[in-house]
Copies of this chain bind each other. A is one copy, B any other.
Amino acid sequence: MAPRSELPAHTSCYDHFVSYGETDTMGVLYYAEYLHIFERARSFFIRGHGMSYAEVERRGIILPVREASCRYRAPVRFDDEIHVLTGISEWKRVSIRFAYEVWNKDRTVLHATGMTEHASVGPDGKPVRVPDWLKSLFEAD
């Protein structure tokens, strides 16, 4: 039986081919590269909701990463096509948490799961409440 996704609703699916430069001597996607790919998947999620992260910043909300983690379950290899499911798993007052699942193209192998927690800060670096427009935007279908 294939693993089931435990992500929230409203996820996006970012499609990615693994490059040579992302792999290592073991012939697999290097562990730090998952965090680069999570960032790409996150930006893709935001663009899919009609806004770029650059535009979010221009509106005065910066979302620096406070914590990140990844659990590596099955290696990914050069030229593999992966699907990165991305959604927001938690809304707090001054932070949000993204969750990620890295699947093979057929959705039969769950390669990795991960999360990133982001503070919501203003241009001065001080915490600010996650604005309603952001929440509305990201929760739209």
A interface with B by C-beta (< 8 Å): 17, 19-21, 23-27, 30-33, 35-36, 39-40, 43, 47, 52-54, 62, 64-72, 75, 77-79, 116
A62→B25 CA distance, assembly (Å): 12
A79 touches B65 (CB 8 A): no
5 contacts between A and B (CB under 8 A): A19-B36, A19-B43, A20-B43, A67-B71, A69-B69
On chain B, the residues within 8 Å of A79 by CB distance are 43, 52-54
A65-B72 CB under 8 A given contacts A30-B21, A32-B35, A36-B21: yes
A69 touches B68 (CB 8 A): yes
Q: 7 closest pairs, A vs B, by CB?
A: A69-B69, A32-B35, A54-B79, A23-B25, A31-B65, A21-B36, A25-B78
